């Protein structure tokens, strides 16, 4: 069976369940709005519901990395770097779509 680059038998570190068409009920589910983005570190599960913005998956993974990587001595950054002619570097921080790479 072709695996298309996936490692056969490998378990995911986290599972993302994305349900853009599901709207939560604040009264029933104990949330504030019909949109929910929830991370369970024990179950290693991310639940995204009520939004069709696919960037929530990436942002949820960034949230997990921002929590876990400093323990490993890594400082996670959502940024880009440009290197000048004199080999100097400029680091650009910002949200997605704010022009860091243009």
Mean pLDDT score of the chain, rounded to an integer? Answer: 88
Euclidean distance between CA atoms 38 and 45, whole angstroms: 8
Single pTM value for the model:
0.72
Give residue-wise pLDDT tens across range 59-101: 999 999 999 999 999 998 888 999 999 999 999 998 878 887 7
What's the CA gap between 38 and 46, in Å, rounded?
A: 6
Q: Which single residue is written with the structure tokens 């929530």?
A: 56
What percent of the chain is modeled with pLDDT above 70?
88
Q: Is the C-alpha dihedral spanning 7, 54, 50, 93 positive or negative?
A: positive
86 compared with 13, residue with greater pLDDT:
86
Domain ranges of the chain: 15-74
CA distances from 24 to 28, 53, 58 (A): 8, 16, 21
29: left (phi over 0), alpha (psi -120 to 50) or beta: alpha
């Amino acid at each position: 069976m072709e695996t298309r680059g996936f490692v056969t038998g490998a378990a995911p570190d986290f599972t993302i369940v994305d349900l853009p068409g599901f709207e939560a009920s604040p009264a029933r589910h104990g949330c504030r709005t019909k949109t929910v983005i929830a991370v369970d570190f024990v179950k290693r599960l991310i639940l995204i519901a009520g939004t069709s913005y696919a960037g929530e998956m990436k942002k949820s993974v960034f949230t997990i990395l921002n929590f876990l990587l400093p323990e490993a001595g890594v400082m996670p950054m959502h940024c880009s770097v440009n290197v000048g002619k004199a080999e100097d570097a400029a680091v650009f921080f910002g949200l997605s779509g704010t022009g860091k790479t243009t």
